[in-house]
Structure 1
Amino acid sequence: MKTQSADLNGEAIANALSLHWGIDGVSLAYVPLGFGSHHWVANEPYGRKWFVTVDDLEADPAGRTDTESYDNLSNAFRTSEALRDRAGLTWVIGPTPTRTGDPIVRLTNRFTLAVFAYLDVEPTEFGEFCILADRDEAMRLIGAVHNFTSSVPLDALRRDTLNIPKRAGLHEALSTLDLDCDSGPYAARSQAYLRENADLVLRKLERFDRLVRLATDDPRNWVVTHGEPHAGNVIRTRTGDLVVVDWDTVAYAPRERDLWMMVNDANPDWSAYRDITGVSSLSQAALEAYRLHWDLMEIAIYVSWLRQRHGQTEEMKIAWSSLQQYVKS
């Protein structure tokens, strides 16, 4: 997150690092990064660094209970550990286990804590790959993950259903567009924008619903997927290695869940993935379904945020800008 939560206490984080990981005497520096988790760099007195991530269980967009959200995150990270340790995919950057082997701990009833090796990486942002060679290498890395599906325990792994978190709230917003909304500085303008574009959003939802059945009809070909292998999560270190981070969205799903971010009209070539997996074809319906799913998921989340009480924060500024982007994409 760009803004540090007032509910998070640096002393509590430092104490948890000492208790669960044996990392003592750290100084913490908040990192305004991403749009979901809270991040710090933890500096040990003798120079070693760690990347610390705190997730808010109450902010789970899928609406899971705190316990369900905790279990889902823990299982996702255990999957990344299996890919790294069992399959030998060393570029999978999973969490550093605690003294008792757990990938995360509860910092409080509401927040979880995970620790990662600190990486010195080149600056990067969410979105498409600027360099085609990086895109091809990313497809090979993701293809290797898919190839090693049999190395991962699947019983506890989430099965993707293409559910749109907060969809009910989006439908409610679309059905009450004549009402005034004064929940914050972006409320009235987002309400007006949604009113102007309601038909476009409804058409996206209708098209998506038709595609979902085609995209998920044959689970025999499903694989372990990362979920968000964009240029912000497939990153190059200063030593030149490409690594994959942010494994919290792992799920068992059609391979197109990963590939839609890399294969599109502008860059249709997916031979790098085909060569490493031997897959001869992709489902165009699944690619489009996952592309629409992303757009609608973002729209539903941002509408929810902007209808709630909010202030003039960097997150709300991004939410308002992103809502317009995804409605028209």
Structure 2
Amino acid sequence: MLTPPDLPREAIAQCLADAYGLRDIRIEFLPLGADVNSAVFRVDASDGTAYFLKLRRGDFDKPVVTVPAFLHRDKGIEAVMAPLPTTNLQLSVQAHGFDWALYPFFDGSNGFERTLTDPQWTALGTALSAIHEAELPEALSASLPKERYDHHWREGVRRYQRRFINGVKGDGIVERFLAFWEEHAEEIDTIVYRSEQLASILLERPPRLVPCHSDLHAGNVLVGDDDRLSIVDWDTLILAPKERDLMFIGGGVGHVWNQPREEALFYEGYGPGDLDLVALAYYRYERIVKDLLEYCDQMFDAAASTEDREEGLRQMQSQFLPGDVVAIAHRGYDDIT
């Protein structure tokens, strides 16, 4: 969310006092991320401790806080950012139409803003390997969705395609959005078709399912001085083949993480293991399809701000640049065909 929610600072301060015992604090809204249903704040306490507050609107699944807590505290994976407990030892609270979770503040930048060092690339591989190898307690495992290669995203894009054919009116942002979509309509058809084709192949294979972050782009990896690193934003946890996460390494999301040398350093930490190239190609295409649907939803959401819609259009356009995610997905498809 790039604009602050309609929530008084006094209400935020009171909730933090009631739930976490924090008083005499300074609250700063952070315009981060393209998710219009999440808002984040920096909270500075009088003793100098800094916290990161995340508010989520809409459906909230407990595993987004319980699984990271287990991975960090029980499995000792320090790179996993885990929520702090409330005074009554809960990992989140609900108030004012949001679910609240409080985290330590990581002093650094995300992977879009700052290039990972060689040790950080290797550390990321080591951390992700430990996550994929972690055996979750049955209660946690049962609470996570399992990969189904669902057609939800593809059908959503097709609905918009039919809608665009019938004609859509809108403001200047919508007009630019539709012009770009029309220019790339044939390639979008190819992306959706290939995603479906690869899903049908994978459905015939019994996959090994592991805990996956599933949104491991550079924006969700924080890097700091002294080679510190933290994996954040566990909202989309799923049990899936490991390629669900590995598609981001070399996948070029946000026009970064697309260099062979970075991949080599990552796999030094991750360790040996056969990659399913069909699954890798599928997840890269499916990610693009998912993003396209979300850009469409955002573009025609009456509640979305102008800033959020402009950012969505910019991100969609960037995906089709040379060397970006669409080109990388096509290259992966060519490799297996």
Q: Same fold (TM over 0.5)?
A: yes
Question: TM-score, structure 2 length as denominator?
Answer: 0.82
Distance in 2 (alpha carbons) for counterparts of 1:107 and 1:239: 37
2:48 is aligned to 47
Note the residue ranges of structure 1 that are not aligned, 5 or more in a row: 58-68
Q: Secondary structure at the match of 1:28?
A: strand
Task: Provide closer, same or farther for how the CA distance between residues 82 and 279 of structure 1 changes in structure 2, counting only shifts above 3 A.
Answer: same
Higher helix share: 2
Distance in 2 (alpha carbons) for counterparts of 1:115 and 1:322: 28
Q: Secondary structure at the match of 1:29?
A: strand
Q: Does 1:28 align with 2:27?
A: yes
Q: What per-residue deviation string (whole Å, max 9, x for no partner) do you get for residues 229-251 of structure 1?
A: 23322222334322222222221
Q: Does 1:248 align with 2:235?
A: yes
2:222 to 232, 235, 251: 235
Mapped contact 1:38–1:54 kept (Cα < 8 A): yes
1:146 is aligned to 132
Q: What per-residue deviation string (whole Å, max 9, x for no partner) do you get for residues 147-204 of structure 1?
A: 2134573011122334466544422221132444333331112122222322211111
Mapped contact 1:296–1:326 kept (Cα < 8 A): no
2:3 is aligned to 3
1:262 is aligned to 249
Question: TM-score, structure 1 length as denominator?
Answer: 0.84
Structure 2 counterpart of 1:38, one-letter code: A
Mapped contact 1:226–1:251 kept (Cα < 8 A): yes
Deviation for aligned residue 1:218: 4.4
Distance in 1 (alpha carbons) for counterparts of 2:281 and 2:210: 18
Deviation for aligned residue 1:119: 1.8
Task: Provide closer, same or farther for how the CA distance between residues 35 and 201 of structure 1 changes in structure 2, counting only shifts above 3 A.
Answer: same
2:279 to 278, 286, 293: 286
Mapped contact 2:40–2:52 kept (Cα < 8 A): yes
What pairs up with 1:43-192 in 2 under 5 angstroms? 43-57=44-58, 69-70=59-60, 72=61, 74-108=62-96, 110-121=97-108, 123-126=109-112, 131-150=117-136, 153-163=140-150, 167-192=154-179
Task: Provide closer, same or farther for how the CA distance between residues 249 and 125 of structure 1 changes in structure 2, counting only shifts above 3 A.
Answer: same
Q: Secondary structure at the match of 1:154?
A: helix
2:200 to 200, 210, 213: 213
Task: Provide closer, same or farther for how the CA distance between residues 162 and 154 of structure 1 changes in structure 2, counting only shifts above 3 A.
Answer: same
Aligned residue pairs, count: 313
